[in-house]
Structure 1
């Protein structure tokens, strides 16, 4: 907390600016504080006149609630327990043992479990699904593990992360378990799902929510289509693909696909086959007004969430176990969701469109 005293006095230690200022540094004194998770000792800076008021733990108080929040905040940014101990001591002048820090951060595990098992709403208008890969130590080896994430749009137009599930390589069979968990927690109906084109994903969704409209991310499809196109032709190839998904109707999109096949089918038949095979799921968004199309034709919304989670966990090259990974992702999601307090853009119009299209399913 020395920097707080510096800010209060207005001059550096030994600086001539402090001469005849009427106040000066006067060392530190130890103070025991009580947190929800045990007793700790901190070194509190003091001034000659006794006027300095520390903001972390105010005078005549022994409760360190702000310290707990600080520890959790540092942990959420990806710092290890030992890093937090060093940060607290060097920056804040707080002596907090690694065991005390671990006790505080371990409480996050229980909070994450309660969050993961909370009851959900019975219906979501849209659910975006995607996975994000992290390196985790498992049985002595560092392996890739996928955090499965679902973001739901409720009838108030608010986005919420419905849960996170940790598994190995992303697979349709694991997603079946995720969707089954959503149902067990109270979700009876999903109007539209938005996913990547993982093989078997649509079948997994239909097995649990048979009435859901399934939309495959068009952006993922374009990336996959361009994967084997020679570099000098990618720009033209991608431009021609845009004519398909920018078409005004599904019928005109089909005509654009025919034209695309005539031009590129001989050289890149794989790309054409993939569009033909997934056509119904790739073009489901054409059945909706433009305002809804914009939010369901791609998984950009959940990919943006993944990017923000990456920022919170960037200090972690790998996690020691699944529990540490879950804590970090839970804390990141908690911070991100603090900004998800308002309905999505143009919600009034969009919700009325949903009511019109799904009048027999939406209960207002």
Structure 2
């Protein structure tokens, strides 16, 4: 398995755990971020790929005046239940195949959700995001193009991260998962752990909404304070219940930022943690009986 496959496998584990915890409908909730994240990120990557192709062709052409953009067209790609219109630019006399949206592809699969989540944080450095783009899509462009592409993505992400929240989430669910990201240090590549924190709000109508994503190098009380303070600054002045898997330092932060909120452990994580203390031969019966008892309550 190459490093790219291993990296995507690590990130995919995060999504699997997310869906396990928050239920099958969670996939749909992730898809609800289409307008805010998916479209601008995909468009920025497609535009970056186009400019990169132009630069490479002009560098290798006898007369770069013959290499220029030749109009554009819109391609609708489907992501979940949503259609995303993407502007595809043509290059005169050249193969129009895109590595990001290959010819005839009309569906963006879950892989793109993973890519979006790995990019959707202003706390990743430009070099980290640039490396992610190259690693995931396999195309190389000049540093200036990558920088422009990253800036577009970051601007869209910043708008999404900073958008005001309605004070209408009596329950918020928080999960933190570790995945590996490739970084460059002193000219050498290495993988370091990053934690992606996913915050889902349940509104008064019982609907789940993805309200925040954060990426951090470490987990600490200060980090959790910053995350909860950010939610409060965006408009979530109060919440009744905060559900998590017993994340370290979170309880202390809740007591400081949302002192009236009740902190409870997610049932799925509670069951999983309890199963660690049961022998393998008894685990199936134990889990079956425990789930029956919990759901009966």
Aligned to 2:72: 57
- Aligned mate of 2:267, from 218, 223, 227: 218
Structure index of larger Rg: 1
Quickly say closer, same or farther: Cα 1:85–1:236, change in 2 above 3 A: closer
* Unaligned residue ranges in structure 1 (runs of 5+): 1-34, 44-54, 59-63, 88-95, 249-364
Quickly say closer, same or farther: Cα 1:67–1:148, change in 2 above 3 A: farther
Q: How far 1:138 moved relative to its partner?
A: 6.9
Q: How far 1:130 moved relative to its partner?
A: 0.5
Q: Distance in 2 between matches of 1:158 and 1:218?
A: 19
CA contact (8 A) 2:168 2:203 kept: yes
Q: How many residues align?
A: 189
> How well do the aligned residues superpose, as a CA RMSD in angstroms?
4.0
Q: Distance in 1 between matches of 2:154 and 2:243?
A: 29
Q: How far 1:150 moved relative to its partner?
A: 0.7
Aligned to 1:66: 88
- Find the residue that maps to 2:243 and give its secondary structure: strand
Q: TM-score, normalised by structure 1?
A: 0.43
Aligned to 2:195: 146
Aligned to 1:108: 153
- Aligned mate of 1:202, from 207, 231, 251: 251
CA contact (8 A) 1:179 1:205 kept: yes
Aligned to 1:4: none
Quickly say closer, same or farther: Cα 1:223–1:198, change in 2 above 3 A: same
Quickly say closer, same or farther: Cα 1:202–1:247, change in 2 above 3 A: farther
CA contact (8 A) 1:195 1:217 kept: yes
CA deviation digits over 1:173-213, x for unaligned, max 9? 42222111111222111122211123443342232112223
- Find the residue that maps to 1:111 and give its secondary structure: helix
Quickly say closer, same or farther: Cα 1:157–1:220, change in 2 above 3 A: closer
Aligned to 1:175: 224
* Unaligned residue ranges in structure 2 (runs of 5+): 1-46, 58-69, 74-85, 91-97, 103-107, 116-131
Q: How far 1:108 moved relative to its partner?
A: 0.3
| Residue 130 (str. 1) matches residue 159 (str. 2) | no
Aligned to 1:61: none
CA contact (8 A) 2:177 2:197 kept: yes
- Find the residue that maps to 1:119 and give its secondary structure: coil
Q: Distance in 2 between matches of 1:244 and 1:83?
A: 44
Q: Distance in 1 between matches of 2:235 and 2:171?
A: 16
- Find the residue that maps to 1:57 and give its secondary structure: strand
CA contact (8 A) 1:151 1:159 kept: yes
CA contact (8 A) 2:174 2:198 kept: yes
Q: Distance in 2 between matches of 1:198 and 1:114?
A: 28
Quickly say closer, same or farther: Cα 1:189–1:112, change in 2 above 3 A: same
Quickly say closer, same or farther: Cα 1:83–1:197, change in 2 above 3 A: closer
Q: TM-score, normalised by structure 2?
A: 0.51
CA contact (8 A) 1:71 1:104 kept: no
Q: Distance in 2 between matches of 1:156 and 1:242?
A: 26
| Residue 240 (str. 1) matches residue 289 (str. 2) | yes
